[in-house]
Structure 1
Amino acid sequence: MATVLITGGTGLIGRELTKKLTNKGHIVNILTRSPKKSNEFLWDVKDNFIDKDAFNNVTHIIHLAGAGIADKRWTNKRKKELINSRVKTANLLFNKIQEYKVPLKSFISASGIGYYGAVTSNKIFIENDKPEGDFISKICAKWEKAAFQFEEENIPVTILRTGVVLTKKGGALQKMNTPLFLSALGDGKQYMPWIHLNDLCSLYIKSVEDKNFTGIFNAVAPEHQTNESFTKILSKVINKPMLPFNAPSFVLKTALGEMAYILLKGSRVSSEKTSEFYTFNFPDLKSALNNIYNGA
């Protein structure tokens, strides 16, 4: 069994992943700024500090830490925070791995489909496509560059470029289940690559258990949905009417600023490479939402 050190372990994905790893017999250590449990250890990026005991017998690191992309408006200060919370934390982990000579079997990092940019196009993006170069793309590119430095120590790296994560408590669905967002956003034609939380956790577990599952993978379900079609299916599953009019782009841009573009733009992202290694439990949106809301 593996001993896995998780950053961001107290977040939405981290909590569920910790539970699933533990249920499979793996040991999980968590880095947090306020340790409360026996498996939680202090880290402080500003002071370049990580409790050395956090690395005891650690075989894998899963790096989930990062300030929420859509939590606040993108001021210049917030933009720095979004990058630093991902890149500086990865750099700190790398430095401590070298300092403590931790014999890692792999480094596994989150990333986002934002790597391909906030664009709506006919293209279906695959893992070896180049980043778009807008802000959301720059975040992901720097995030991934920080992860790949572990290869300098001959440590295999796995990166999961994640779409909209679907779960009942928290995350995108909780925000969408509101009057404004239970309507198509803008023209509604932008795509919304998504993944059920259970499938995402299973991909992280596969990253730990399968030494051949290395490199970059799109963590998105095989089925493509536009914002409009996604919202229609959601409204039916939760039995709430979808608003008969779209939320105007200018309203979102006024309310959210530059961040609005990640809601108003979006292209299809391929899961073909990922599907060669993994069979999705929830490959279509209807089954995913029925499981989340109805336990079906």
Structure 2
Amino acid sequence: MTISFRDTIGKGGFGTVYKGKLPDDGRIVAVKVLSESKGNGEEFINEVASIGRTSHVNIVTLFGFCYERDRRALIYEFMPNGSLDSFIRKQGSDIEKCRLGWKTLSEIAVGVARGLEYLHRGCNTRILHFDIKPQNILLDKDFCPKIADFGLAKLCKAKESIVSMLGTRGTAGYIAPEVFSRSFGGVSHKSDVYSYGMLVLEVVGARKNLDSRVSHTSEMFPHYVYKILELENSENVFGAISEEENEIARRMVLISMWCIQTIPSDRPSMSKVVEMLEGPLQSLQIAPKPFLFSPTTAAVDSTSTSQQSDETN
């Protein structure tokens, strides 16, 4: 299928991804071969079990898998534009060629939100992803986003709001406060909402050439963007050259700020996020400033002051 693993298209801690071709119809695929030394296969089984339950335009399609003793591989649809990460972290002289327009970025944000809404509400079994980040958002030839990598996902009953979980899942910078410290609240689908908000903030920061790297280690970046929102005249502060683009950028930041509220119940559901993304900008209010690393301060100061936070399930 891969012609002896000839064409490598990606590498990570899990293993290597190769470009391949299905023998029956010649369809191009991505073959994800997991490292033999990585665990006992739990993440592999978890990924197959999770993604095998899905069917959505914004979820990557799993064509098949191989599980033969210590040999484990997943066969996915091929995404010609790679990951979102490659477009927002591109450095060097070619950065302008790789830069996506505000309209495309907005469509990607909407697509990812719809994919997460489906995982949280559209499946018979609710799926919590727990690793939403730019590297796990793949783009097809038309830049339609597809959520990938379900190795850390957790299945739970459709009506279940709080899930039990040992340890921490996710990637630094995108992990919701309650995932690494239960004093912030229970772990639920709202943890994915937080990761989504950080992803959108990073997309906006990269498009504006802001130093979004600090978002991985501190609350400085969200607080910097929050100050931008508070400016009375915020025209073009997001690097947008037209009124329409500026509205798109402002909408993305306003919604992301609601998503990264410290207290899970103050965050909107993904259904509400989709509604906010597609509704009028004038109806969006500025969220309370998030206090990302102080449970005591957050409990006192992070309150729900708008209809955006009314829906908690």
> TM-score when scaled to structure 2?
0.29
Q: Which has the higher contact order (CA 8 A, sep 6+)?
A: 1
Q: TM-score, normalised by structure 1?
A: 0.30
